[in-house]
């Protein structure tokens, strides 16, 4: 085993061990104390991060720009062209991203430890947080599309669970479910892309798919049409994960969870995963001009609508969510325009800045007060930027549209959700008729249950 192998294994293993330990103790009868959980998370992240930095140093010293770490085939079904190839890739894209993930997860984990102190859901939070860390590491380092998908799913799952962290509040659960549903759409696209890739190339290894050459110089071995097909699916996946138009509406909704999870997920890491995916498969983008144009268009559109929405939001978390989205849009547009390193730098800078801003969001009143004192008067109202060149009626419409978040959620609800629900309820009615006929009467006990069955509360007077 080379030094790379050992270090690479540590990078991946430390969050895995973390999840295993937290999961096992949470499920067991002897759950860990807050202090112990915190120690585990902190040391797990620290070990992983140190190893990741060591890999970076080693790569710089040896001049290696691409280091694969193999864990072999885990599942192979040759007849079906199916296999699960555990392989991790350390290159100029994955190493900075994994270090960023570790730094932010570690810092914000320390933040959350004090912030959620004595909170009834502390263990649940830590468990989801560890899952998220693992998901981020797997996604960043994935060397095959199936590993990437696995990490991607972990991130999605932990996100949705943490958005609905305060599950005693209806709004939190509703919004968590909304995000989960959007993720499902994007995951479905991702899965189809992964399967299609396996069918076309017989495997999902990025190396072969992208051709030789370390990132970002690889050349994809797909035809233009194949690239367009797979690339479009992956773009849909990225759109869902990064809240690009038309899925933008979920990002402000995701601000239901505790502040640290909002910061690390939607300010920093999770929201950039779509952009990361596009970077990872950038050789595919290069095969198809249409695809690149589509990516750029989605990015620009997102950036413009989000920038407008950010200006009108009058609560700090939504405002920051849209501010974050604006930059993600810009990053995606940069990728669409063929840039590779700049978007990566942009991601890292933006993630650090935004998570600091989100963590400080509750200090807003104090910060404004301090600024007012420094300036010596009320804060200068911002001019309405470029919108002042447009007629007033247009401005007013734009304001309303921005306030209503460009009606994106409403459109999704009208175009996607309602028909979907419509079909299912038609099926439900048909089934009921069938079972009623079979039972020669009313066949469903659940019909008698009131939609909101009264809960006995002590409140009843």
Partner 1 sequence: MIDLGASLLPAQGPITAFVFDNTLRAFESMGFEEALVSGSKTFGCHPYWAEERYHREFARGRILSHDLATELLEDLGDRADALLGFLGTRYHLRLAMLEQPLRLAPTRELEWLVTESDALRQFRDEVSPAIRTKLISRTRHWIMSEWQGHRGDAQPDRAREVIEPVMAGFDFSRVHQWPDATWEQFVLQALWQACLLGVRDAAPPIAPPARPLRHRDLLLEACGDDTDVVVNAMLIRYCAAFCDQGLAAWPLPTRDAGFLSGFRELYGQARGGPEPWLRGLRVALEAHAKDGLTPLDSIERSLVDLGVPDEEQEAFLSQTLLALRGWAGMIWQMETRGDRVPHPLPQGSLIEFLALRLLLERLALAHTARESMGWRGSLGDLRGFLASRAPEPESLTTEQRAFQIFQLAQLRGWRPEVLCRLSLPEWTALIGEVEAFSSIERRRIFQRAFERRYRMEALDALAANCRSQGSSPRHEKPPPFQVITCIDDREESFRRHLEEIEPACETFGTAGFFGVAMYFRGVADAHDAALCPIVVTPQHYVREHVALTFEGSERVRRHTRQAIGTVTHRFHMGSRTFTGGIIAAVLGSLASIPLVMRVLFPRTTAHLRTWFGGFVQPPRVTHLELERTEAMPGAEAGHVGFTVTEMTAIVERLLRDIGLTKRFARLVFVMGHGSSSLNNPHESAYNCGACAGGSGGPNARTFAQMANDARVREALSRRGLVIPDATRFIGGTHDTCNDSVRVDDLERLPSTHTPDFVRLRGVVNDARRRNAQERCRRFYSAHLNLTADAALRHVEARAEDLSQARPEFKHANALCLVGRRQWSRGLFLDRRAFLQSYDPAEDDDEAHVLERILQAVVPVCSGINLQYYFSTVDPVGWGAGNKLSHNIASLVGVMDGAASDLRPGLHRQMIEIHEPMRLLFVIETTAAAIERIIDRNPGIKTLVQGQWIHLAVIDPATGRMALARSGMFEPHEPEQTVLPQARCSRDWYAGCRDNVRPALINPSAAMPAHPMRGRA
Helix (H) or strand (E) holding 84: strand 82-91
Binding flag, residue 166, partner 1 (CB under 8 A): yes
Q: Which is nearer to partner 1, 209 or 402 (CB)?
A: 402
DSSP 416: I
Shortest Å, Cβ 189 to partner 1: 24
Binding flag, residue 368, partner 1 (CB under 8 A): yes
| Span interacting with partner 1, options 62-70, 105-113, 188-196, 439-447, rule CB under 8 A | 105-113
- Binding to partner 1 by CB under 8 A, coded x per residue (else -) over 250-279, reads --xxxxxxxxx-------------------
Shortest Å, Cβ 446 to partner 1: 12
Which residues, 388 to 417, sit near partner 1 by CB under 8 A?
A: 392-393, 395-397, 399-400, 402-404, 407, 410-411, 413-414
DSSP 311: H
Distance CA 331, CA 337 (A): 10
Binding flag, residue 119, partner 1 (CB under 8 A): yes
In a 3-state reduction of DSSP, which class is residue 70?
Answer: strand
**Among 245, 340, 228, CA closest to 289:** 228
Which residues, 307 to 346, sit near partner 1 by CB under 8 A?
A: 307, 310-320, 322-323, 326-327, 330, 345-346
Binding flag, residue 1, partner 1 (CB under 8 A): no
Q: Which of 77, 78, 378, 445 binds partner 1 (CB under 8 A)?
A: 378
Residue 50, Cβ neighbours under 10 Å: how many?
15
DSSP 219: -
Binding flag, residue 127, partner 1 (CB under 8 A): no
Shortest Å, Cβ 133 to partner 1: 16
Distance of CA 272 to the CA centre of its chain: 7
Distance CA 145, CA 194 (A): 6
Shortest Å, Cβ 56 to partner 1: 15
Q: Which of 160, 172, 227, 239 binds partner 1 (CB under 8 A)?
A: 172
Shortest Å, Cβ 290 to partner 1: 26
Which residues, 199 to 258, sit near partner 1 by CB under 8 A?
A: 252-258
Distance CA 380, CA 436 (A): 68
Q: Which of 114, 433, 442, 444 binds partner 1 (CB under 8 A)?
A: 114
Shortest Å, Cβ 85 to partner 1: 34
Sign for the CA dihedral angle at 177, 179, 180, 186 comes to positive
Q: Which is nearer to partner 1, 26 or 384 (CB)?
A: 384
**Among 73, 69, 89, 295, CA closest to 198:** 73
Say if residues 308 and 245 touch (Cβ distance below 8 Å). Answer: no
Which residues, 43 to 82, sit near partner 1 by CB under 8 A?
A: none
Distance CA 178, CA 176 (A): 5
Query: Position of tokens 């915190």?
Result: 38
Binding flag, residue 25, partner 1 (CB under 8 A): no
In total, the chain counts a number of residues equal to 461
| Span interacting with partner 1, options 44-52, 76-84, 147-155, 347-355, rule CB under 8 A | 347-355
Residue 196 makes CB contacts below 8 A (sequence gap 6+) with 229, 230, 233
> Which structure tokens are listed for 136?
């981020």
């Amino acid at each position: 085993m080379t030094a790379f192998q050992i270090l690479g294994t540590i990078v991946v293993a430390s969050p895995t061990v973390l999840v295993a330990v937290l999961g096992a103790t949470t499920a067991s009868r002897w759950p860990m104390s807050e202090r112990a959980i915190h120690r585990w998370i902190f040391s797990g992240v620290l070990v992983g991060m140190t190893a990741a930095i060591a890999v970076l140093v080693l790569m710089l010293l040896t001049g290696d720009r691409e280091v694969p770490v193999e864990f072999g085939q885990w599942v192979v079904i040759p007849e079906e062209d199916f296999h699960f190839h555990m392989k991790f890739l350390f290159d100029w894209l994955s190493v900075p991203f994994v270090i960023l993930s570790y730094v932010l997860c570690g810092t914000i984990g320390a933040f959350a430890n004090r912030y959620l102190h004595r909170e009834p859901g502390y263990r649940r939070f830590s468990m989801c947080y560890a899952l998220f860390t693992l998901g981020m590491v797997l996604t960043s380092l994935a060397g095959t599309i199936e590993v990437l998908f696995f990490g991607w799913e972990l991130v999605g799952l932990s996100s949705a669970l943490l958005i609905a962290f305060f599950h005693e509040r209806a709004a939190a659960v509703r919004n968590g479910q909304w995000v989960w549903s959007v993720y499902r759409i994007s995951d479905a696209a991702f899965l189809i892309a992964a399967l299609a890739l396996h069918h076309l190339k017989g495997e999902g290894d990025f190396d072969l798919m992208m051709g030789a050459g370390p990132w970002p110089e690889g050349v994809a071995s797909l035809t233009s049409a194949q690239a367009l097909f797979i690339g479009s699916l992956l773009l849909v996946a990225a759109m869902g994960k990064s809240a690009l138009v038309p899925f933008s509406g979920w990002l402000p909704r995701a601000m239901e969870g505790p502040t640290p999870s909002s910061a690390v997920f939607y300010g920093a890491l999770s929201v950039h995963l779509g952009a990361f995916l596009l970077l990872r498969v950038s050789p595919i983008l290069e095969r198809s001009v249409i695809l690149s144009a589509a990516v750029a268009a989605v990015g620009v559109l997102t950036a413009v609508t989000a920038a407008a929405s950010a200006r009108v939001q009058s609560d700090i978390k939504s405002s920051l969510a849209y501010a974050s989205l604006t930059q993600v849009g810009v990053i995606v547009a940069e990728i669409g325009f063929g840039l590779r390193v700049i978007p990566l730098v942009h991601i890292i800078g933006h993630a650090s800045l935004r998570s600091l801003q989100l963590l400080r969001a509750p200090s807003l009143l104090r910060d404004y007060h301090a600024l007012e004192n420094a300036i010596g008067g009320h804060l200068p109202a911002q001019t309405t930027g470029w919108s002042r060149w447009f007629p007033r009626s247009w401005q007013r419409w734009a304001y309303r549209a921005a306030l209503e978040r460009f009606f994106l959620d409403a459109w999704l609800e009208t175009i996607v959700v309602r028909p979907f629900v419509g079909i299912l309820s038609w099926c439900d009615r048909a089934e009921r008729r069938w079972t009623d006929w079979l039972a020669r009467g009313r066949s469903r006990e659940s019909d008698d249950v009131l939609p909101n069955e009264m809960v006995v509360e002590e409140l009843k007077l």
